[in-house]
Amino acid sequence: MLAKMTNNAYAEPWDKDWYDLGPDWNNTYPFGWGPDADGLRGHVFATPDNSTVMISIKGTSANWLFGGGGPTVGKDKLNDNLLFSCCCARVGPTWRTVCGCYQGGYKCDQNCVEQSLSEESVFYSVGTNLYNNVTYMYPDANIWIIGRTFLGGSLASLLGATFGTPVVTFEAPGENLAARRLHLPSPPSMQHITHVLHTADPIAMGTCNGVSSGCAIGGYAMETRCHLGKVLRYDTVSKLGWAVDIRKHGIKVVIDDLLSKDWNADEDGSEPQNKSVPDLVDEEDCMDCFKWEFGNFKDSSTASCGSSM
């Protein structure tokens, strides 16, 4: 059900891609779907008695790959390259950076990149306003935040870390680096955040990087791999024989080919048989951007955001 809700964040109720969620979730309120809107969008789903509310945030739309096109493509891409790159989407010498923090070689100004993520144009700031508005509308509700892929899943997690709200994401890239740059709370446990992903998805696994990767060819600097909270990782490569393929990132693949089927362990006894889902795990000893040096190399007040290549 949650995965279908994250899919519906990309659509409107009359679209062919919309999943019918049944009578328990028939109260739906869109946000960001105005005729001229080009920023954060999705839907708020509520039970008939408004006791439980799900904020479903739309992820990245990309003309050539997933999520389709539409008016949000430009800002989606800018936010992706700010949140998930090591330094302003400096993948190679031919790339135009999305903020002014790159200092040559593998050096990046820490204050500058932190300031770039806190600007009002970044979806994180928009998301905090959205959450505050929803809590005002539903003061007594049990509120969850859900999302998938680049922005939807990772932004949901960042908001969950900020407000302590339960979060479930699907196929989200690593957002731990962005959380540290935003100086979000880092309690000993973040068990309220759960990332659902599978090993054939190079975006969620943090391997869709480098100048020749599918992400880079599309202009996306997806260089992070470390997640907050708990990870529910389906080993679809070893157990189902899936090949690592960026096309496996789509939510319909997850819904139709993974979550709708029984998950059984290998016959070698490595896991209990007929296990419905894998164990939740922490990503221990995970490190992002280990090649880079971050420090105070410039006056961070000169940082500014622009468009990526």
Structure tokens that stand for 12 in this block? 């409107």
20 vs 92: CA distance, rounded Å? 44
Could you tell me the pTM of the whole model?
0.91
**pLDDT-derived band at 189, boundaries 50, 70, 90:** confident
Q: What is the pLDDT of residues 238-275, one digit of tens each?
A: 999 999 999 999 999 999 999 988 877 554 445 555 56
Tell me the helix, strand and coil percentages in the chain, rounded to 5.
Answer: 30, 15, 55
Task: Reply yes or no on whether the pLDDT at 51 is more than 70.
Answer: yes
Task: Reply yes or no on whether the pLDDT at 192 is more than 70.
Answer: yes
**β-bridge pairing 42-46 and 52-57:** antiparallel
pLDDT score for 230 = 96
- Span 2-299: which CATH code? 3.40.50
Average pLDDT along the chain: 89
Mean pLDDT across the stretch 124-132? 96
Mean pLDDT across the stretch 25-40? 89
Mark 251-285 as b/e (b = at least 16 C-beta within 10 Å): bebbbeebbeeebeeeeeeeeeeeeeebeeeebee
Mean pLDDT across the stretch 74-87? 94
DSSP string, 150-210: IIIIHHHHHHHHHHT--EEEESPPP-HHHHHHTT----S--TTEEEEEETT-TTTTT---S
**β-bridge pairing 107-109 and 293-295:** parallel
Mean pLDDT across the stretch 73-80? 91
